Amino acid sequence: MYQQRVGAKRSVSIIAGWLGLLFPVCVYSTNLLDLPLESLVQIEYEVSSASKFTQTSSRAPTTVQVIDAEAIRRHGWRTLGEMLSSLPGMLTGSDRGYDFFGVRGFQQSREFNHRFLLAIDGQRINDPIYEQAMIGDEFPLDVSLIERVEYVDGPGSSIYGANAIFGVINVITRRADRVPGAASLALSSDGWRLGNGSVSTRFENDSALTLGVTLGDKAGRDVNYSAPPGYLLLSNGSTITDGVARGLDRTGMVRLFARWEMDETDLTLTHGTRRHHPSAPIYGALFNDPALYLEDTSSRLSLSGKRELSESVLFQGHLAYNRMSFTGDYPYFDPGPGGVGYYLNRDQTEARWWSGEGYLVYSGLSDHKLVSGVEFQRETVARQQNMDLRGVNVNVPLDVATAANTQGVYVQDEWAFAPGWLANLGLRYDRHSRHGGSAYPRLALVWQPTEGSALKLLVGSAYRNPSAYEAYYSTGAAWLANPALRSEAIHTLQLVGEQRIGESSQLVATLFQYHISNLISQVEVSPGVWQYQNGSSIVARGGDLALIHRSASGLRLDASLAMQNVVDHMGVRYDNSPSWSGRLNASQPLAGEALLLAGEFRLVGSRSFVWVDGVRRTLPVEPILDLTLSAPHLAGGLSAQLRLTNVFNRHSFVAASPMTMSPLTPVYGRTGWVSLNYAY
């Protein structure tokens, strides 16, 4: 829900409905000629993710950044990771198997994004094995069904529990009246073919049904890699000659969505499957081998609802059944006398779990708004397996069940103790059947001297238990389990200033400090033998500045600069940590609003890291520019979009994990997209 700041209505043009459940374009059932001016120049939103009730972002007990459907549509973002990369201080990358991200100078290579809590409509979707937040093509929801993304910056365990170390990402889906009938087709120069359809209907009893399906496949392409001699091995045990992975990064994808809405009650099904052959030799696999294969499946059936029990009491809750599975096939070569030579090793993971939450929002006390709730997760299946295929026995077989239960209870009070002043106090206690109990508080003091300004002092903490994968995965000699891992914890202090400039601009400045203890990371305990271990603490200090502008002419501008210093307990700069990054997003209607041009420019400061060979490598500053041109009114309900990413075709890289057999993973080069969308 958006807060309206300007009262006058005015007809302005906007790109008509893009219906692409297929391409990163959102579906609109309304022509923007009919939208009020305030929805176009809006710089402040009403958000629900920070406190689990609706409030303006200036009153929220943290910084909440909103990526709305209009921004998604204008820029043509196709994945959740592309959206997040537009935010201040956000660091994104890919190992060609999965997309990963970090924030404020902290980013570990080849991790599972498990220091962020990912939710759809406020419901956690991190799985119980890897605790992964999926943000790439493996994310089970098509972006055309997204109404907005609310990113709650900073620790959120006081209300969300585990994993909300750096922030909460809440993806809010579109209601039925915002999803008209649509069909879409998109093609890319790097081999993607995507098709999508969606429909919604409302019945006489005022219930509504929404259906969406997305199908996609990507042809393989050649990708160049380099590594020190002896690291990139081929299927015959020899080393590479030219460093080219041929015809890989092939992908197939299916997404399904269905929702029935009636009387503030929703029954929602989401399902996503991705099959992928990465070009990068992840997990120490052989190079340029099409047998390297990943398959992810995620399904969720959720019943949710809300009821006003009285004028001052609102109840909200949900009950969900979840399932995830993963299969990974990895080719290896076992050399030497007695070695089996070429063989395949397989990971298989399956999890099934029930989750539920219920909470009350009570506003019957003068100057107070209270939230209290309970949440649970009960895992019925949580199984990890690893085995060598075709009768080979190089690794010790793994078959471990790690099903666990979690219960949490939380309470929060928003107290308007004086004119222009708010205090927000929250506390949550979680009990995990394997890791015991954890209690984490949050305190926020908000001062609003005028309607358009706010100053916030934020103190928070959060935790993350070791994942079942980190604690119990083992293949014998190459990878060791570590059930003695301790939970990570973060403690933060932030000062945030928000100042509106006129009716169309806003300036947001943040100073922060965070301290992470018991950091869990991969450690090479002996040559070729790896284990997750708790490491030393890290400390970060820095700040960021963001400018938001929305004009009545349709111009949108978002600019930010983030600076930080992340060091370990010895005062040494953390690996792969840039000291600064900058973003500039802009979009503007052209030619009497027959066209819409959008651009995104990103800069990340240089950073260095030490790979497994002991050599320190430096990644230089690289400018990345993406451009999108939209034509909303070709004929009838037909519209089109052209998008060009990495316009300069910069040959940049991301730091690879020690388990990837090349120290640098190339970023995708210049890529063109074209999409056609028809709304009926």
Q: How far apart are CA 244 and CA 445, in angstroms?
A: 55
Mean pLDDT of residues grouped by 10 in the chain (680 residues)?
33 28 30 40 82 92 94 95 95 92 87 94 96 95 94 95 96 92 94 95 95 96 93 91 93 98 96 98 95 98 97 97 98 90 97 98 96 98 97 94 97 97 97 95 96 95 97 91 96 97 94 96 89 94 96 95 95 94 96 92 95 93 95 89 96 90 93 94
Asked, for residue 358, whether it belongs to a domain, the answer is yes
Asked, for residue 22, whether it belongs to a domain, the answer is no
104 by DSSP, 3-state: which?
A: coil
pLDDT of residue 636: 85
637 Cβ contact partners less than 8 Å away, ≥ 6 residues apart? 16, 17, 19, 678, 679, 680
Around Cβ 318, how many Cβ atoms within 10 Å? 19
User: Could you say which DSSP state residue 106 is in?
Assistant: B
Q: What is the CATH number of the domain that holds 589?
A: 2.40.170.20
pLDDT of residue 168: 97
> What six digits make up the tokens of 333?
């070569």
pLDDT of residue 298: 97
Asked, for residue 630, whether it belongs to a domain, the answer is yes
Sequential DSSP letters for 25-82:
----SS-GGGS-HHHHS----EESTTTSS-EETTTSSS-EEEEEHHHHHHHT--SHHH
Q: How far apart are CA 416 and CA 63, in angstroms?
A: 18
64 Cβ contact partners less than 8 Å away, ≥ 6 residues apart? 45, 47, 49, 50, 57, 150, 151, 152, 153
> What six digits make up the tokens of 512?
């922060």
409 Cβ contact partners less than 8 Å away, ≥ 6 residues apart? 372, 373, 374, 375, 428, 429
Asked, for residue 16, whether it belongs to a domain, the answer is no
Around Cβ 338, how many Cβ atoms within 10 Å? 6
The rounded radius of gyration (Å) of the Cα atoms in the chain is: 25
Q: How far apart are CA 144 and CA 216, in angstroms?
A: 14
Q: How far apart are CA 332 and CA 342, in angstroms?
A: 6
Q: How far apart are CA 117 and CA 160, in angstroms?
A: 8
Asked, for residue 12, whether it belongs to a domain, the answer is no
Asked, for residue 117, whether it belongs to a domain, the answer is yes
pLDDT of residue 24: 32
Q: How far apart are CA 102 and CA 109, in angstroms?
A: 10
Q: Are 443 and 425 in contact (CB under 8 A)?
A: yes
661 by DSSP, 3-state: which?
A: coil
Asked, for residue 621, whether it belongs to a domain, the answer is yes
pLDDT of residue 42: 65
pLDDT of residue 678: 93
43 Cβ contact partners less than 8 Å away, ≥ 6 residues apart? 5, 500, 504, 505, 506, 548, 549, 550
Parallel/antiparallel/unpaired status of strands 46-47 and 116-120: unpaired
Domain count of the fold of the chain: 1
Range(s) of the domain holding residue 225: 32-239+249-679
pLDDT of residue 257: 98
pLDDT of residue 181: 86
Asked, for residue 20, whether it belongs to a domain, the answer is no
Strand residues in 278-404 grouped as ranges (E): 293-310, 313-334, 341-362, 368-388, 398-401
